[in-house]
Structure 1
Amino acid sequence: MGHSAGGRSVPTNDNPTTATMSVKRRQELADVAQRHGLMVIEDDAYGLLPEQPLPPIASFAGELTWHIASVSKILSPGLRVAWLRAPSLAKAWRLAADMHETAIMAPPLNAAIVADWVRSGVFRQLTDAVRAEAVARQSIAARFLDAASFTAQPEGYHLWMPLHHDANPGEIVNTLRPHGLAIVSGDVFAVDRSIATPALRVSIGGAISRDRLERGLRLLGALTASDASRRISLV
């Protein structure tokens, strides 16, 4: 059976919305792909962040799914090493040939470092440490922001903050930028910015210290407090 067009999925901790697909939803998506012969590209960049990772879509429809994961989102953006599970050995070889034509290979030193970390257990230790830091920073966010004002994963790096329809995300972003908080207007992720709902994507990971993060989130909470009250009053 030939495969028709497919789609890309970020099943765990979607960026920017922070949504995570349930196991039931993953199974349903795999069922649809199998019924219609659709190809699935599973961008599982954050799949290892949860302490109890959910089964990937590839585990339900392996013959149709290209499952991709990376070190850069889990441990360090400086290590540009990713890995991929192809639907078949033939397709894996074809992709390897295409990659060789465009990039020759992954940086050998980076690949050697990651391979050694996997064999020695360091990869798991580092992942555990990053997860623990993410949990601590999510706790900081919960202290300074109204719980109803944002969505996030307990072990994720990002917050997603929908705003009132007449809010100005750009003003909030410009106010917070000097304070070191990594924040962008949600419309940068929209296909058509003219119809995008006002929102903010806040990154709480990276090099920013916990102290600076606290100060930035405290100010963000103050700037969005009136917006949150307006949204609550409309419910």
Structure 2
Amino acid sequence: MSQLKTIQDEDLPPWLPRLAANKGPRFLQIADALQAAVADGSLTPGERLPPQRQLAAQLGVDLTTITRAYDEARRRNLLEGRGARGTYVAAPKVELNAILDLSMNTPPPPAGVDFDDMLKQGLSQVLMRADNELLMTYHLGGGSDSDRKAGATWLAPMFGPLDSQQLLVCPGAQAAIAALILALTKPGDVILAEPMSYPGLRTAAAQFGRRLIAVAADQHGMLPEMLEQACRQHQPGLVYLNPTLQNPTAITMPERRRKQLASIAQRCHVRIVEDDPYWLLADVPPPPIATFAPQQVLYISTLSKCLTPGLRIAFVLIRDPIERERFLVALRSFALMAGPLTAALATQWILDGSAGGLMEGIRKEARLRHRMARDILAGRYSGSGDGLHVWLELPAYWNSSQLAHAAASYGIAVTPAEAFATGSGYVNAIRISLGSIKDRGRLRAGLQRVSELLARRPEGVGGAVV
């Protein structure tokens, strides 16, 4: 007879059922029992739990099982440790921020992917295989050979086999954009972009004293004839493009337009910064512009939109060795390196396949959320069915700042078009991000509130967006 079967019911805490060999890992049975007891009031906030050794003896299990159970319960916000005084039932968390955030472009949490376990397993592998001292010291920047090879693997769907030495690893796409501006332009230079463009570009250009000029676009992206005219008129230092699921308009530039813009860049001897964070989330996207003008285009792919922003890792493809060195010098002026630990974790995930699994889960979840947005926003939905955001053009009786202000008063954050404007004019629209609200039910509630607002005229709404 096993030791478990000799335990008498009266020996157990009243909230804990008898453990069974056929009901899964014992530590999870204990954590589940804790959760059920907190939910039904058998355990109340502030109540002290038995010491781990005592509970292990009562249940006839080893101490490690109880430690894992308590750790799991803490992860679920059920318990809190108070040092030598022991472990107590935690008070319920108060939701201090009731805002439904539809303003931040982050990947949605995918169903069926245990991100906590993925993080623990990935870090465990990194710490097992890497020199821990190297993970905690300064690096010259650009990434280790392993990190660059992981970058080549990550970019293989876009480019096929790549020379990993042409890739650089940096702390996020924003840092990459800033370093490219510093490396390849000088104060007063012009940077060309579409009328609606990534706000981080505008911030960096203004900070570094560069002039941002909008080039007209249509439903396929920047107009080739207008780009050529602007190049001859302004002699720009760079052209910035976000051609796949563009932020904020969600337009994916067709292949023909990409070829035309690449050809103009070659004729006019101007560099294109191709910021392409959403390519891997798109449904059969065209080849990157960089495939049509490899020496002319500097390509950025961040993990923030396909995996998680917390990694702060982006890969930058720069073919010219002199430009790579200039980029690194510029990057070191404000960000010496990507974090070695997160870079090693990203490399581990890419090479062991975890990153691909997580990204596929995010793709599926994003598509599901787009279907939800299409159903709720009905005829106003203009997304492509993939990516992280929807660009919603407004009825004439609303302007984007009014609607953003009104939405905020209803507890919803959206981003008005003027946040993306590179020139004086902008489309009357808002961007709705679909990934930043974890719970689908809360996302549905936010989208329904936006739909209700759109269906009626504003009532004296005005002022600044808060």
Q: Which amino acid aligns with 1:97?
A: V
Residue 213 of structure 1 is aligned with which of 431, 435, 443?
Answer: 443
**Of 125, 142, 147, the match for 2:374:** 142
Choose which of 265, 269, 273 in structure 2 pairs with 1:37: 269
Per mean C-alpha deviation after superposition, the further-off stretch among 205-214 and 104-113 is 205-214
Matched with 2:288 is 56
Matching residue within 238, 253, 273 for 1:21: 253
2:434 to 199, 204, 210: 204
- Other-structure match for 2:455: 225
Tell me the alpha carbon deviations over residues 160-193 of structure 1, each in whole angstroms, 9 at most, x when there is no partner: 1111334143343234336664412112222456
The change in CA–CA distance for 1:91 and 1:192 in structure 2 (over 3 A counts) is closer
| Aligned with residue 336 of structure 2, among 100, 104, 113 | 104
Instruction: Tell me the distance in 1 between the aligned counterparts of 2:426 and 2:317.
Output: 34
**C-alpha separation between the residues in 2 aligned to 1:14 and 1:109?**
31
Counterpart mapping for 1:103-182 below 5 A: 103-147=335-379, 149-177=380-408, 181-182=412-413
- Could you list the per-position Cα deviations for residues 44-86 of structure 1 after superposition, in whole angstroms to 9, with x for gaps in the alignment? 1111112434211100001011000101122111111111001
* Alpha-carbon spacing, 1:38–1:118, altered in 2? closer, same or farther (3 Å): same
Contact map agreement 1:180 1:208 (CA 8 A) in 2: no
Partners of 1:180 and 1:23 in 2: CA distance: 40
Deviations 1:62-119 (A, max 9, x none): 1011000101122111111111001312221221233233311101111001111111
Equivalent of residue 78 in structure 1, options 310, 315, 324: 310
Larger radius of gyration: 2
Distance 1:191-1:60 versus aligned 2 partners, 3 A rule: closer
C-alpha separation in 1, matches of 2:318 and 2:414: 35
Q: Structure 1 regions of 5+ residues with no counterpart?
A: 228-235
Query: 1:45 is paired with a residue of what secondary structure?
Result: coil
**Against the structure 1 CA distance between its residues 185 and 49, is the aligned structure 2 distance closer, same or farther, given a 3 Å change threshold?**
same
Aligned counterparts of 1:101 and 1:53: Cα–Cα separation in 2: 35
Instruction: Judge conservation of contact 1:4–1:37 (CA < 8 Å) in 2.
Output: no
1:230 is aligned to: none
In structure 2, the CA distance between the partners of 1:154 and 1:218, relative to structure 1 (3 Å rule), is: same
Say whether the 8 Å CA contact 1:181–1:204 is kept in structure 2: no
Bigger relative contact order, structure 1 or 2, given CA contacts below 8 A and separation 6+? Answer: 2
- The AA in structure 2 aligned to 1:200 is I
1:183 aligns with 2:425: no
Hey, what's the Cα distance between the residues in 2 that align with 1:196 and 1:105? 36
**Distance in 1 (alpha carbons) for counterparts of 2:262 and 2:450:** 39
Contact 1:181 1:203 (C-alpha < 8 Å) held by counterparts: no
Kindly provide the CA deviation profile for residues 128-151 of structure 1, in whole angstroms up to 9, marking residues without a partner as x.
01111100100100111123x132
- 1:208 CA displacement: 3.5
The question of whether the paired residues in 1 share the 8 Å contact of 2:407 and 2:453 is answered with: no
- 8 Å CA contact 1:181–1:213 kept in 2: the answer is no
Distance in 2, matches of 1:140 and 1:7, equals 35
Kindly provide the amino acid, as one letter, of the partner of residue 75 in structure 1.
Answer: L
In the aligned structure 2, how far is the partner of 1:180 from the partner of 1:204? 16
Give the AA of the match of 1:165.
A
Of 274, 299, 310, 1:67 maps to 299
TM, length-normalised to structure 2: 0.45
Secondary structure class of the residue paired with 2:315: strand
| 3-state secondary structure, aligned to 1:99 | helix
Sequence identity percentage: 33
Within the alignment, does 1:11 sit opposite 2:247 as a pair?
A: no
For structure 2, the 5+ residue unaligned runs are: 1-234, 458-466
Alpha-carbon distance in structure 2 between the residues aligned to 1:167 and 1:197:
12
Q: Distance in 1 between the 2:456 and 2:241 partners?
A: 35
- Return the TM-score normalized by structure 1: 0.86
- Letter paired with 2:427: T
What secondary structure sits across from 2:390 in the alignment?
strand
Q: Provide the rounded CA distance (Å) in 1 between the counterparts of 2:408 and 2:311.
A: 26
